[in-house]
Amino acid sequence: MLYRFVLSILLLVAGASACRADAGPDALLADLAIGVTPVHPREFIFTDKGAAHLCGEAVGPATRSYHGFYVAMHEILDGWALRLEDGTELSAVTADEARVRPDRMERVWRLPSGETVTATVTLLDRSDGFRILYEGVPAGTFAFLPRVDMRFLWKVTRPAYLVEWREGVLRVAREDRPSRGEGERHPPWLAVAVSGADDFAADGRHLSSTYPKSAARNAMERANPYLPGEIRGRIPLRVPSGRVEVVVATGDDSDTAADAAGRLQA
């Protein structure tokens, strides 16, 4: 009797697994998604199977100074936000929930109008870059705001930056390191390309930031991310809701980084 019971359970499990397999690999990955809310925050980390990784809080403000996008253990980008025409800012801090899968992370915002905006963050394999795809963005103007922090993992500095806006792509590098040094593995230039964007408004501020989990360890609790400015665009009024695709890429010089962003967009 026990043998028959165990065999029945095994057959049921096998049948359920077969049904999920029939649904395809995307359904299998969706089954592995971890839901995160502000009440129960969780950190995440993705790797591109090469030199790059992206880590942070799925929902809520950054809690460690080493949260961000890195190549060869050097931070490139600290974080980002998308601001809508009515001033609503969509960022990790304001997200209502997140779903973290093995291959991507999805953040969700519920707007006062009742509309929902979703952003899918995907680290692209061995590319030293990643994509953010916003869906359900209301018609009107928008602005993408990257936060830059270029430094080695364990160093906290406040460098000056070179900022260029050319051919619809934002390019940023440290003023004191515009080219790759001898023996350095990390690219010195960042490029940010945003679909539907045609304007840039410079900012140029450093933010003095403190991170609670780092402070609790009394290690690297402060950093100074930099706001180069706003990449601006518009979703036409005839479009009820639109998509905004952001591609973050890196390179050895300004044009190489911009070309990499174009290739990733394609």
Give per-residue pLDDT as tens, 145-192. Answer: 999 999 998 777 899 999 999 999 999 999 999 999 888 899 999 999
For the cut 70, the answer to whether the pLDDT of residue 3 exceeds it is: no
- Say what the pLDDT of residue 238 is: 78
Between CA 81 and CA 192 the distance in angstroms is 13
- Say what the pLDDT of residue 22 is: 61
Q: Any idea of the CA torsion for 154, 163, 138, 207, to the nearest 10 degrees?
A: 40
Between CA 5 and CA 9 the distance in angstroms is 6
Whether the Cβ atoms of residue 36 and residue 106 lie closer than 8 Å to each other: no
The number of beta carbons lying within 10 Å of the beta carbon of residue 163 is 18
Q: pLDDT tens, 216-250?
A: 777 777 889 999 999 999 998 877 779 999 999 99
- Say what the pLDDT of residue 37 is: 96
Global confidence as pTM: 0.88
For the cut 50, the answer to whether the pLDDT of residue 143 exceeds it is: yes
Highest mean pLDDT among 28-32, 105-109, 240-244: 105-109
Q: pLDDT tens, 41-78?
A: 999 999 999 999 999 999 999 989 889 999 999 999 99
- Of 202 and 211, the structure prediction assigns the larger pLDDT to 202
Which ranges in the chain belong to alpha helices (H)? 2-22, 25-31, 212-216, 254-265
For the cut 50, the answer to whether the pLDDT of residue 135 exceeds it is: yes
- Say what the pLDDT of residue 166 is: 97
What is the overall mean pLDDT for the chain? 89
Q: Helices (H), strands (E): how many in the chain?
A: 4, 19
- Of 12 and 97, the structure prediction assigns the larger pLDDT to 97
Q: Fill in the amino acid letter for 228.
A: P
Q: Fill in the amino acid letter for 246.
A: V
For the cut 50, the answer to whether the pLDDT of residue 9 exceeds it is: no
